[in-house]
Structure 1
Amino acid sequence: MDPKISLVTIGVKDLDESIQFYRDGLDLPMRDREPDSDVAFFTLKGAWLSVYPREKLAEDATVPDDGTGFSGMTLAHNVTSEDEVDAVLAEAKAAGGRIVKPAQDTFWGGYSGYFADPDDHLWEVACPDLTDE
């Protein structure tokens, strides 16, 4: 296996709301799609992000769609400064996201905070400690 991640698909309750959040709110570049398509792809550096109806994603994976609370996974977006962490969190909030953990110094020496998208998928926005570089 070639160790890389090329696509992350997240199950969403409302496809249009998620498209609005990621494309219009966070300004992620969305690939062209048919108006009646039930999936949207966003081109990121090194990978794609896909949003797909949660119940269909669960069906495709042959698992029940009854999960609540923490899913055991977070997505991360690393930046190069504390100011960028604060700016990305503010952008996510303005787009309709919910700040779960305000940005703060971390136990591992960096600076990070978390936001949740409209389906409560958790995103960490982090700046590592760059003093040793």
Structure 2
Amino acid sequence: MITLGVSDLPRSVVFYEQGLGLPRMDSPTEVAFFTLNGTWLGLYGREALAEDASVSGESSGFAGFSLAHNVGSEPEVDHVMAQAESAGAVVTKPAQKTEWGGYARYFADPDGYLWEIAHNPLFWVGPSDEPA
């Protein structure tokens, strides 16, 4: 499970649930869980998550990681990015072919978490590619 500490839980819930269309699971009011393909995304108040980990909630700049969502085609990359932009995401890297033969873009969510949306034709395993 991936848990993001967010500064405004209701705003982030709207971004991920309504903006990106992630299916939300039943959860207590102080946390939100979304089903992803093979894992879950949790949103929790930034200060509360920092307190839980016994660290300072203050930060600035690059957090040292990004999240990636691999999709089945270049048009799907553009579709997901359009969804994210219309939900308020900030594009940090426009779409482009990659040196590894794929196609990728980056956006930052309302709290600045970086998401790469990519199509990697050598990596993609989608529903139609799974063994019967």
TM (normalized to structure 2)? 0.88
- C-alpha distance in 1 between matches for 2:71 and 2:108: 18
Identity percentage of aligned residues:
57
The answer to whether the aligner puts 1:125 opposite 2:125 as a matched pair is no
The answer to whether the aligner puts 1:51 opposite 2:43 as a matched pair is yes
- After TM superposition, give the deviation of residue 52 of structure 1 in Å: 0.3
Residue 12 of structure 1 corresponds to 6
Residue 89 of structure 2 corresponds to 97
Three-state SS of the structure 2 residue aligned to 1:109 is: coil
Alignment equivalent of 2:67, drawn from 57, 62, 75:
75
Residue 20 of structure 2 corresponds to 26
Structure 1: tracts of 5 or more residues without a match: 1-6
- C-alpha distance in 1 between matches for 2:69 and 2:12: 18
Alpha-carbon displacement from aligned partner over 1:34-82 (angstroms, at most 9, x marks no partner): 4xx2100001121110000011111111111121111011110001111
Task: Specify the code of the residue in structure 2 equivalent to 1:120.
Answer: G
Structure 2: tracts of 5 or more residues without a match: 123-132
Superposed CA RMSD in Å reads: 1.0
Count of equivalent residues: 122
Q: Structure 1 segments of 4 or more deviating over 2 A?
A: none
- After TM superposition, give the deviation of residue 33 of structure 1 in Å: 3.0
